[in-house]
Amino acid sequence: MTENRLERRKARTRAALVRAAQEFIADGKLNAPILEITQSADVGMGSFYNHFQTKEELFHAALEDALDTFGQVLDSLTGDLDDTAHVFAQSFRLTGRLHRRLPELSKVLLHNGFELTRSGKGLAPRARRDIESALAAGRFTVADPELALTIVAGSVLALGQLLHAQPDRDDAAATDQIAEDLLRMLGVPADEARDISRRALPSVAGSDVA
């Protein structure tokens, strides 16, 4: 019983640190000292080092957790779609819009992006799942789903870099065009790829990405 209480207390402490880090990311305070983060989380400095070795490690965990939460939202928004190609495209289009709608989260994503593509949490495993599902359904025709995921992940990151470098570019139009091009690359006929990548998007509560 005592051990269970200890584990629950440790879990609460870690969760408080992650939530605080997410707030700092959202506010653009990426250079905040660890002491400021622990004070916001209402935990001691010693507690920080029981869970994380560096601030960068905490921010990575916070980003991974935020993206995993966003991935769960994407799952809920695609649950009623029958076409696996549409599932993939809708998730990509909503994710691409994050770069302009949530710029600080985007910047941290770009900084950690390639490491996150190997993570078992967040968006990468969902993209892999969607690609494999579309392959099994005959909607995609690529030979190697892992290579396809590499191209998709690179597209998300390169798109983010472009949108930050060109603030006047229409982010929705750019994201939808890349979604269309990816669908064609993955094996969807051109006219169908264009139709799928221009369909209305659901709104995502709290992120204004639609």
Domain definitions of the chain by residue range: 1-53, 56-210
Has domain 1-53 been given CATH number 1.10.10? yes
In the prediction, which pLDDT does 208 show?
A: 44
With a CB cutoff of 8 Å and minimum separation 6, the contacts of 160 are 99, 106, 109, 110, 113
Tokens encoding 200: 């209305």
Tokens encoding 53: 């070795």
Where do the H-state alpha helices sit in 27-123? 34-41, 45-51, 55-78, 84-96, 98-101, 103-116
Q: Tell me which residue of 205, 99, 178 sits closest to 197, measured CA to CA.
A: 178
Sign of CA dihedral 196, 74, 127, 115: positive
In the prediction, which pLDDT does 171 show?
A: 96
- Strand, helix or coil at 29? coil
Distance between CA 37 and CA 161 in Å, rounded? Answer: 28
* DSSP codes joined into one string, 132-173: HHHHHTTS---S-HHHHHHHHHHHHHHHHHHHHH-TTS-HHH
* Whole-structure pTM value: 0.79
- Residue the block writes with tokens 């993206």: 67
Distance between CA 43 and CA 18 in Å, rounded? Answer: 12
In the prediction, which pLDDT does 2 show?
A: 62
pLDDT along the chain (210 residues), means of 10: 78 93 82 94 92 92 83 84 96 91 78 72 88 97 95 93 95 97 98 97 61
In the prediction, which pLDDT does 209 show?
A: 45
In the prediction, which pLDDT does 108 show?
A: 72
CATH class of 56-210: mainly alpha
